[in-house]
Structure 1
Amino acid sequence: MTFYNRVEELEALNSSFESPGHDFIVIYGRRRVGKTALLKEFCADRPHIYFLAAQEAEYRQREKFVDKVAGYFDERMPRIDGWDEAFDYLGDKLDTEDLVVAIDEFPYLVAENDSLPSYLQGFIDEQLQDTNSMVVLCGSSVSTMESEVLGHESPLYGRRTAQFDVQPFSFKQARKVMDYNMADSIRSYAITGGTPMYLTLFDYDRSIAENVRSQILSPTAVLYNEPEFLLRTELRNPARYMSILEAVALGHTTPNEISGATGIDVGPLSKYLQTLRRLRLLDREVPVTALGKKSKRSRYHVADEFLRFWFRYVEPNRSSIEEAPEIVYDGTIEPDLPTHVASTFENVCQEVVWEGIRNGAFEPYSEVGRWWYGEDEIDIVGLSPTDNRILFAECKWTSEPVGEALVDNLQAKAPKVRWGPDDRTEEFVLFSKSGFVDGLEERIGDNWSLFALADINGHLSTD
């Protein structure tokens, strides 16, 4: 499979390895996000030992690890009775050669022996730090990596020389994988999200409909049961968590709404929501103008576009998909897909704003996000407290060109955003899938900007 992006991460890893002294690197992030691909790409051209841990008995894990080390040095595997001896053996070998030692899926080792971080601490303090070698711990269980490796209570705390929280691809990054036109790329991204594995499962010589039918709606496809698999690897009893994710994907975004949709009382619900946030499956959002970000007007949304798609269309229709997937796609998914994509389009437009801030196309704003109060909502609001400047933007994924009605509507809502002084500087932006009515640009002020798909493509194509 082709390796995409991750240029900054590779450069940082290369720089660390080439600099004098030892390195202890931590790489973590959600499953399927490309951590192993990054690790293997980095190791490919340099001496290394790569060990992939498995869910098996501790003695077998340790035995296989020591066998990997011995195999690299072309030795017979020694008799080792504990992890302390295993790391002593590795340390002796690192006295003779500088190399990368990568331990992938480290949480599986900790699950069998929670003293392992203590053994690693001793190895780092007493042996690794006197070498020019690098040890990399990689893991998909974000909670384990954050608590057992990065957390204040971990014996390894403060010993890392760098850490990489590997994120899904942004839309701009994903565009390098998706060989569609701009509109279909946004539609496709609304289905796969930025997870590299999901992106590369799609065949971009085929239509979106064909890809959805073959890669998601087929009971034999990897993605058909993927969310259920992800939850079962992280949670012992995922049923309630699945019901919460389905409720949020279907538009129940406040705690009260989620409680009503799932039957889970608001009190216990907060614990489930917290766990889903910790697993990076849910995001909590407050209005961009909220002080301290502790607003009671919080909303939740599914943190991954594919999971949002799956819980919106696949999970509620499992029985029908087993019987007639074509009917589910034609009758349920395709007619509703524009509504689903509209939320993704807002995120893409927000990405355009940030990209424009970085490259100077927009004035600088320190905060960018959604705003809502009561029945009023604005898709994107940017705040620049240092010079009392505010940005208002609306994003329309509609089949008709945008006209003056949206201009008037946004101008009417702007004064309701209580932020800054009365003489604040206001800027306005409209994003539209289908462009704008003739003459609109001439009828609006200099503080307005219009972005059609071609403009969005241009801004996200620059490096």
Structure 2
Amino acid sequence: MTFYDREDELASLETVYSSPGHAFYVIYGRRRVGKTALLKEFCVDRPHLYYLAAQEAEERQREKFVERVAEAFDERVPRIDGWDDAFEYLGEKLTTDDRVVVIDEFPYLVEENDSLPSYLQAFVDEQLQGSGSMLVLCGSSVSTMESAVLGHESPLYGRRTGQIDLQPFSFQQARDVISYDIADAIRSYSVTGGTPMYLTLFDYERPLSENIRAHILSPTAMLYNEPEFLLRTELRNPARYLSILEAVALGHTTPNEISGATGVDSGPLSKYLQTLRRLRLLDREVPVTAAGQKSKRSRYRVADEFLRFWFRYVEPNRSSIEEAPSVVFEGTIEPDLPTHVATTFEDICTEAVWELIRREELGPYSEVGRWWYGEDEIDIVGLAPADNRILLAECKWTSDPVGYGLVDDLREKAENVRWGPGNRSERFALFSRSGFVDGLATKLDDSWSLFELDDLEEIFSNP
């Protein structure tokens, strides 16, 4: 499989590896995000020992680990009675032979023995620190990695020399994988999101509709049950969490709306929402002008495009998909897909705004996000408090060119954004899938910027 991007992450690993002394690195992130692929790419042409843990009994896990160590150093497998002896054996080998040691899916080991971090602490303190080797712990259970490895209560706390919280690809990064034209690339990204495993499943020589049918709407396809699998790796009883994610994907975004749609009372709901945020499955948003955690105007959104697609179209239509997937696609998904894509388009335009800020083509803005108050909403608002400058932008994924109505509407809504002094500097931007009516650009002053799909293609092609 082709390895895509991750230049920054590889550079970070290389820096730590090349530094004098030992290294203890932690890599974590959701399943399918490419952690193992990143580590294997890093280990190529470097002396290494790679161990992939499995959900097995502790004794068998330990036996396999020791067997892997012995194999890596071309030795007979010794008799080992406990994890302390296993790590001591590894430490002895590293005194004369520096290696990159990778323990992948570390949470599986902790599941069977929650004292394992203590054994590793002794190994790091007493043996790894005296070597030039690099230990990497990797895991997909975000909650376990954050508590058992990174948390204040962990015996390993404070010993790591670096960490990577591996994120899905941005649209710009995913563009290297998605070989459709820009419009279909945006549509496709709204389905797969930036998860490398999902991106590389699609065959971009085939139409998007065929990829959706083959890889999502088929009961035998990997992605058909993927969200349930993801939740079961983190949660013992995922039913309530599934219903909350479905409610949010279907447009119930405030706590009151979610409670009404799921029947979960507000007290327990807050804990469910907090857990889903911790697992990177939900995002909490407040207006960009609001005071963060203190704001009562919060909204929730599914944090991944594929999960949003799945909970919007697959979960509510399971029975019909089992019987007639083509009917579900043609009658439910295809007509509604532009509405689904419109949200993704806003996120991609926000990504473009950040890129233009980095290129100094929109001026510096320290905060960029959505804004809403009452019935008014603006897709993108950028704030530059030091200069009293504000950027206001709308994004339209419509089949008709954008005209003067949107210009007037944005100007009117701008007056309701209570931020900065009365003489603040305002800049406006419009993003449109279908371009703009003739003459619009010439009738707007230089405080306005208009972007079509070709402009987005240029922005993401030339960072």
Q: TM-score range by the shorter chain?
A: over 0.9
Letter in 2 for 1:398: T
Q: For residue 121 of structure 1, what is the amino acid of its counterpart? A: Q
Residue 274 of structure 2: aligned partner? 274
Alignment of 1:380-399 (within 5 A): 380-399=380-399
Q: Secondary structure at the match of 1:441?
A: helix
Secondary structure of residue in 1 paired with 2:369: strand
Please tell me whether residue 302 in structure 1 is matched to residue 302 in structure 2.
yes
SS of residue in 1 equivalent to 2:456: helix
- The CA deviation at 1:44 is 1.4
Q: Which residue of 1 aligns with 2:434?
A: 434
Residues 371-410 of structure 1 aligned to structure 2 (within 5 Å): 371-410=371-410
- State the secondary structure of the residue aligned to 1:416: coil
Structure 1 partner of 2:99: 99
Write the mapping of 1:347-366 to structure 2, written as runs, cut at 5 A.
Answer: 347-366=347-366
- The 8 Å contact of residues 286 and 294 in structure 1, kept in 2 or not, is answered as no
Task: Report the counterpart of residue 199 of structure 1 in structure 2.
Answer: 199
Matched, 1:138 2:138: yes
Code of the residue aligned with 2:17 in structure 1: it is F
Please say if residues 286 and 292 of structure 2, whose CA atoms lie closer than 8 Å, have aligned partners that are also in contact.
no
Structure 1 residues 236-257: Cα deviation after superposition (integer angstroms, max 9, x where no partner): 1111110000000000000000
Q: Distance in 2 between matches of 1:3 and 1:446?
A: 42
Deviations along 1:262-299, one digit per CA (max 9) or x if unpaired, are: 11111111111111111110000000000244211100
Taking the aligned partners of 1:334 and 1:287, their CA distance within structure 2 comes to: 31
Distance 1:42 1:361 in 2: 35
Give TM-score, length-normalised by structure 1.
0.99
CA distance in 1, matches of 2:395, 2:281: 25
What does the per-residue CA deviation read over 1:173-218, in whole Å, with 9 as the maximum and x for residues that have no partner?
Answer: 0000001000000000000000000000000000000000000000
SS across alignment from 1:218: coil
**Aligned structure 1 segments of 4 or more residues deviating by more than 4 angstroms:** none
Q: Measure the CA separation in 1 of the matches of 2:392 and 2:399.
A: 22
- For residues 117 and 279 of structure 1, what CA distance do their matches in structure 2 show? 21
Amino acid at match of 1:83: W
Paired letter, 2:322: E
Task: Name the structure 1 match of 2:223.
Answer: 223
RMSD: 0.6
Q: Would the aligned equivalents of 1:368 and 1:383 in 2 still touch at CA under 8 Å?
A: yes
Deviation at 1:374, TM superposition (A): 0.4
Paired position in structure 1 for 2:48: 48
Taking the aligned partners of 2:380 and 2:294, their CA distance within structure 1 comes to 19
In 1: Cα distance, 2:65 partner to 2:419 partner: 58
Q: Report the Cα distance in structure 1 between the residues aligned to 2:51 and 2:215, rounded to whole angstroms.
A: 30
Cα shift readout 1:362-399 (whole Å, capped 9, x = no counterpart): 11000000000000000000000010000000000000
Q: How does 1:5-404 map to 2 (within 5 A)?
A: 5-404=5-404
Note the C-alpha offset of 1:424. 0.4
Asked whether the equivalents of residues 399 and 433 of structure 2 are also in contact (C-alpha less than 8 Å), the reply is yes
Deviations along 1:411-445, one digit per CA (max 9) or x if unpaired, are 00001010000000000000000000011011111
Report how far residue 132 of structure 1 moved. 0.6
Task: Please give the alpha-carbon distance, in whole angstroms, between the structure 2 residues aligned to 1:380 and 1:455.
Answer: 17
Residues in 2 aligned to 1:218 and 1:351: alpha-carbon distance in whole angstroms: 32
CA–CA separation in structure 1 for the residues paired with 2:238 and 2:11: 38
| Alpha-carbon shift at residue 19 of structure 1 (Å) | 1.6
Q: Give the whole-Å Cα distance in 1 for the aligned partners of 2:162 and 2:262.
A: 41
Kindly indicate whether the alpha-carbon contact (under 8 Å) linking 2:171 and 2:189 is maintained by their aligned counterparts in 1: yes
SS in structure 2 at match of 1:176: coil
Give the Cα–Cα distance (whole angstroms) in 1 for the partners of residues 153 and 233 of structure 2. 24
* Aligned-pair CA distance for 1:15: 1.7
- The letter of the residue matching 1:460 is F
In the alignment, the residues of structure 2 paired with residue 362 and residue 43 of structure 1 have an alpha-carbon distance, to the nearest angstrom, of 40
State the one-letter code of the partner of 2:79: R
Q: Distance in 2 between matches of 1:213 and 1:143?
A: 33
CA apart distance, 1:361: 1.4
The aligned residue for residue 445 of structure 1 is: 445
Structure 2: runs of 5 or more not aligned: none
Kindly indicate whether the alpha-carbon contact (under 8 Å) linking 1:21 and 1:133 is maintained by their aligned counterparts in 2: yes
